[in-house]
Amino acid sequence: MSFRGDWSFLRVCPKHISGDSLAVPRDQDKTRPLSTLANLAIIITDVQDMDPIFINLPYSTNIYEHSPPGTTVRIITAIDQDKGRPRGIGYTIVSGNTNSIFALDYISGALTLNGLLDRENPLYSHGFILTVKGTELHDDRTPSDATVTTTFNILVIDINDNAPEFNSSEYSVAITELAQVGFALPLFIQVVDKDESPAGQTCTAPAVSGVAETRTRRQGSGVIADQA
C-alpha cells in the first residue's frame, strides 16, 4: 500500500493524547478518482521532559523535645509528571539539618528523628527550616537531572523537664539591730525556670528555718523584708 500527498503535524501533546486514528485515502491522483479508506493508528510515546513536583504542600509540623530517636516526623512525597513511564523519586536534605538531627529515607521519603532533641539547646530552640530535594531516578536508581526542591518547617515543642534554679547557692546579708519593720533587705533572690512558658512557671522562694523565719519575701519581687 502506498500513500500520496503531504502530511504534517501542527502540534503533538503526549500528556493528553495516548493514540489516534486517521482515515487515509489510498489514492489522491485526480486522474484516477477511485479510492478507498484505511485506518492508520498513531501512538505517541512520552519522553522524560518534565521535572517532578512535591504533593501535599506545604510541609510544616511540630515535634516534642526528647522524642525518642527514630520517631517519624512526616513522610514527604514527590511524583514524576511524565505519564508514559513515571520514574521513582530519591529524597535528600539539602540544608538546615543542624547536627544531622533528622534523617530522610532516600526511597520512602520518611523523615525521622536522628538524635536527642532538647529545646533548651540554643541550636534547636527556634526550630528548623529544612530544604529537601526530590530527584527522579533511572531504572538502576542512579539520579537523573530532573529535580525539585521545597522547604520543611519544624517547630520544637517544649515540655516541663527542667527544675527551677536559684541565681546563687547561698545568700548572706547584714542588717542593723534597729532595723524597722518593713525594712527592705539589700538582697535579691532570683529563681529561673529554663522551660518555655506555659511550661515555665513563676517561682517563689519560701522562708527557711532559723533566723530567716523572721523575714518574708515579697511575692514576685525577690526582695526580703524584715518582720520584726
| Predicted local distance difference test score (pLDDT) of residue 48 | 82
What is the per-residue pLDDT across 110-149, written as a single tens digit (0 to 9) for each?
Answer: 999 999 999 889 999 899 999 999 999 998 999 999 999 9
**Fold assignment, 160-228:** Immunoglobulin-like (2.60.40)
| Predicted local distance difference test score (pLDDT) of residue 155 | 95
- CA–CA gap between residue 91 and residue 77 (Å, rounded): 9
Per domain, the residue ranges of the chain are 1-45, 53-157, 160-228
Amino acid at 86: P
Residue of 155, 61, 151, 91 whose CA lies nearest to 117: 155
Name which residue leads in pLDDT, 203 or 145: 145
The values of phi and psi at residue 211, to 5°, are -60, -35
What is the per-residue pLDDT across 60-94, written as a single tens digit (0 to 9) for each?
Answer: 999 999 999 999 999 999 999 998 788 999 999 99
Report the share of the chain in percent with pLDDT over 70: 71
pLDDT of 41 > 60? The answer is yes
Q: Decide: pTM greater than 0.85.
A: no
Report the share of the chain in percent with pLDDT over 90: 41
CATH of domain 53-157: 2.60.40.60
CB 90 within 8 A of CB 106: yes
Q: How far is CA 72 from CA 24, 64, 163, 187, in A?
A: 59, 12, 29, 50
**Fold match flag (53-157 vs 160-228):** yes
Mean pLDDT on 8-34: 54
Averaged confidence pLDDT in the chain: 78
Q: Alpha helix (H) ranges present in the chain?
A: none
